[in-house]
Amino acid sequence: MIKINEEIPDMKLDVFHDNDIKKVRLSDYVGKWMVILFYPRDFTFICPTELEEAAGLYETFKELGAEVLSVSTDTAFVHKAWYDSSPSIAKIKFPMIADPSGEMCKAFGTYIDEEGVSLRGTFIINPEGKVIFSEMHNNDIGRNSNETLRKLQAAIHVSQSDGEVCPASWTPGKNTLKPGVDLVGKI
């Protein structure tokens, strides 16, 4: 399982993206921030609510230099069928990775062996290809894409600052901290 500050492995996977099925390598995205959203299955109840919410923020993620990738153990053909039949999923413009063997899910530690599906997992990968944030939870609890966006903004700020860190619930424009010093001030 990949841990914080470890590089993600390079693997070649099928994706459904721009109404086409193609192959990509995870290394294709190195050099930009990545937000990877693991979810259990297409054609389920919670998953379309999460992916639709992420789709609504996709342009904001891209403006920050990040690519959003969703991942499930479904095939790319199932992703396409879901896209073609669901108004919520039809809003998705980001790549939908197909991981039917569970290779990527296993590498990130989200795979449920007994079920052959992924837990809900959210990972933020920096431009060097290292995991800097991970969160996993039970499949009956949906995630919050606005919170993922906030965490990405904090990660970007920290990476561009000179030793500043972001306190609890930090958002752009709020005070940061500098270890050994008081509040730095508004950014």
Task: Give catalytic residue positions.
Answer: 47
Measured distance CA(33)–CA(142) in Å, rounded: 23
Instruction: Answer for the pair 74, 47: CB distance below 8 angstroms, yes or no.
Output: no
14 bridge partner residues:
23, 98
Instruction: Answer for the pair 124, 133: CB distance below 8 angstroms, yes or no.
Output: yes
Instruction: Answer for the pair 184, 175: CB distance below 8 angstroms, yes or no.
Output: yes
Measured distance CA(26)–CA(7) in Å, rounded: 11
